[in-house]
Amino acid sequence: MSTETKFAVTGGTRHTVAAAPSNAGWRPKNLKILIRRLAAACVGFCAYMFRGAPFITSAQSRVLIKGVNIDQTLVIAERELEKGGFPSTLTLWGVRDQVYTETQAQKVSDLYFRYIETLKDYFPIWHFTWAISDIYRNGNAAVRVQLELAYQDAKKRAKAAGGWADRHANGDILMGDIHLPARLFVKAHVVAPGTPGYLRSLEDYRP
């Protein structure tokens, strides 16, 4: 950013007038630097959140939701993906550590390949690939057969995205709602009539 000194002449007297700053020095690289700094700040915030995360475990038995209805929750997950936006992948992410049947795993694979190419931002890609990775790795042989292609694709995308996405899809399994805001979102989007605080049925879901 530069300034330019100009001169004005009034009544035979020469006056120095400071011009307003010019944007001539602004370049695209400055924008890239700003974006990188903002991304680093976001990652740092996530690291802070995870460090004190109260809802985090590596044991699946500790995160199983009593009475969870995966079929109805997948309907909600599909509606959220159709709607798009920042939290569009969080419903599926919220049930990534539950027990799936072969048919449900096939549905998850279909959703993944239908919507993954529509995602451009880091956050939804991170949580979508994380969800696929956990469902696959926690699943039985039949579930893994249905999710094999989605899992391999998710691993590659997460690695390309880097950072937390790579760590969660390709590193150790990290289960749980992580922090309170995520838990509140999950309770508002997951059908589990057997657990207080969750949706009792699909009809209770409010987009």
Please name every residue paired with 2 in a beta bridge, in sequence order, or none if there are none.
Answer: 22
CB 202 within 8 A of CB 72: yes
pLDDT in tens, 121-174: 999 999 999 999 999 999 999 999 999 999 999 999 999 999 999 999 999 998
Mean pLDDT of 25-44: 54
pLDDT in tens, 61-108: 899 999 999 999 999 999 999 999 999 999 999 999 999 999 999 999
- Write the CB contacts of 70 (distance below 8 Å, at least 6 apart in sequence): 95, 98, 99, 100, 101, 104
> For residue 123, what are its two tokens?
């956050």
Q: 88 in helix, strand or coil?
A: coil
Distance CA 75, CA 192 (A): 13
Query: Residue 38: what residue type?
Result: L
Domain ranges of the chain: 1-51, 55-204
